[in-house]
Amino acid sequence: MGQSLEDVPAEAAARAREWERHVIEVETGRPPSAAPDALPRPQYDPATTTVRQREAAKAAELTAAGVATSAITVQRMRHRYRSGGLRALVDGRLTRPMTPHGRTDPRVVEAIRAAIAAETNTSTGTRDRLRHRVQMALADSYGDDAPSLPSKATFNRLVTSMTTGRHTFGSAKTRRSAANRPPGAFTVTWASRPGQHVQIDTTPLDVLAVFDDGVARRVELTAAVDVATRTIGAGLLRPVGTKAVDASLLLARMLVPEPMRPGWADSLRMSVSRLPHRSLADIDARMADAAAKPVIVPEASGCDRGKVFLSETFVRSCERLGISVLPSYPRTPTDNSIVEATFSAMNTLFCQYVSGHVGRDVTRRSQDAEAEAVWSLAQLQELFDEWVLHWQRRPHEGLLSPDAARAVCQTQHTQAVPHRTRQTHDRTTQTLLATTQQRPHRHLDGRPIPRRHKLEQRTTTTRLLRASEILSHIAVQQTQPI
């Protein structure tokens, strides 16, 4: 940097240059702007005065000019100029490197940072406990040369600035969730057409359902969300403890049209929606009375590493339907962020309006939530299926029209983006009618399956081939008056 003052504020640089002029006059008797043959002023003449007398005279001169200055200040500025030149005359507070931790010893800062990181997976404590742990860590690391801790008030302010957003002294669950967040921006899940990537997950629903024994209990929702269109392809409500066969049934429900139910408004029919109803009705007669929800055949299924989605039953179902299973990385919920966000939307747009809503935890539950629950599991399933159709017509901020930069609903986006909707049922029919001989009999790791296990595989395939009949039977049951 040299003697340049380009990085110093203009006012501070002007003061430094003014002090330089005063210091040179004290040292030599003449200011730097004086002519070569100019005589020094009597009070600064080195021939008749001492350095201390000149320092006192300069202090008196500056004080008389309105700048209160002592001889000690002039002496300090003279020493600084002799050791560091012009730049040494700049106010040190302006050139001192700024740190977010002030003048605290860096070793103390590192010890505090390590102690805060260690609090992530422990029970929540107080700042006093953290201070004690930092003091012990410094003693273990540096022994007798350990730096001393700042005062308690300074320590608390420092800890507050270092724990912002980390919930070190708050909820342990929130703290662990925040620590599991990616260090940078995570990769956005992207798909260019319907079915290219479908995310599947299971979550407890914040609603109580009345079961056959008359007891109100929580239910679980397993849902599949298409990334390209944000369409909820299917949702399945089950008692807590969803099984692999339920996830397989969810896939089967995605591959058939959603039938209209008694009592549903005609505006929910596919025939009055933007979907190409006539073209689809020529392919599948069930489209004539279908609800306004597109049938999307998944090409890849993103899911977490739960037992349900890594089970052999679910994986074999995906293999039979030609769906690739893409498990997320361990402890990385952002891999399935879209379905997680959809679950949050379900709680705010559906669950809180249903009788028996209990909130996400006991602190948000009503006084007698069990008495408010009136819907059975089958009735709650039908309510949810109807709500999904309204979800399809709701503008979504994550979907922008290719023609106009505005948010559109899921049905409009399904029509706008490139897709293969007209081919979905042909592909589904061909897949469901395929025989086991079309694929080699191998385990998931590629090992051949012995002949004694092939019968079991054919039995599993037969069950999948009957998915359409099972769903038709379910549809008949759901259309019965409640």
- 334 confidence band (pLDDT: 50, 70, 90): confident
Q: Which residues contact 370 (CB under 8 A, 6 or more apart)?
A: 208, 216
Q: How confident is the model at residue 363, as a pLDDT?
A: 84
Question: Is the pLDDT confidence value at 432 over 60?
Answer: no
Question: Is the pLDDT confidence value at 216 over 70?
Answer: yes
Alpha carbons 451 and 340: distance in angstroms, whole number: 42
Q: How confident is the model at residue 7, as a pLDDT?
A: 75
Among 81-85, 184-188, 425-429, which is the least confidently predicted range? Answer: 425-429
Question: Is the pLDDT confidence value at 34 over 70?
Answer: yes
Mean pLDDT of 109-131: 94
The CATH architecture of the domain made up of 198-478 is: 2-Layer Sandwich (3.30)
* Amino acid in position 285: A
Question: Is the pLDDT confidence value at 62 over 80?
Answer: yes
User: Which of 112, 109, 105, 95 lies closest to 1, judged by CA?
Assistant: 95
Q: How confident is the model at residue 302, as a pLDDT?
A: 92
Q: Within 10 Å of residue 148's Cβ, how many Cβ atoms?
A: 9
Between 274 and 161, residue with greater pLDDT:
161
Q: How confident is the model at residue 273, as a pLDDT?
A: 82
Alpha carbons 58 and 466: distance in angstroms, whole number: 104
Compute, in degrees rounded to 10, the torsion defined by CA atoms 7, 9, 10, 12.
-110
Between 396 and 200, residue with greater pLDDT:
200
Does the reported pTM lie above 0.95? no
Helices (H), 29-105: 51-64, 71-84, 92-95
CA-to-CA dists, residue 313 to 228, 316, 317, 459, angstroms: 27, 5, 6, 12
Confirm if 196 and 299 have CB atoms less than 8 A apart: yes
Compute, in degrees rounded to 10, the torsion defined by CA atoms 106, 112, 114, 116.
-150
- 49 confidence band (pLDDT: 50, 70, 90): very high
The distance of Cα 46 from the centroid of its chain, to the nearest Å, equals 72
Mean pLDDT of 191-213: 92
Q: How confident is the model at residue 58, as a pLDDT?
A: 92
Among 37-51, 172-186, 254-268, 426-440, which is the least confidently predicted range? Answer: 426-440
Residue 201, both tokens: 């997950």
Percent of the chain, pLDDT > 70? 79
Question: Is the pLDDT confidence value at 320 over 60?
Answer: yes
Question: Is the pLDDT confidence value at 442 over 70?
Answer: no
Q: How confident is the model at residue 275, as a pLDDT?
A: 79
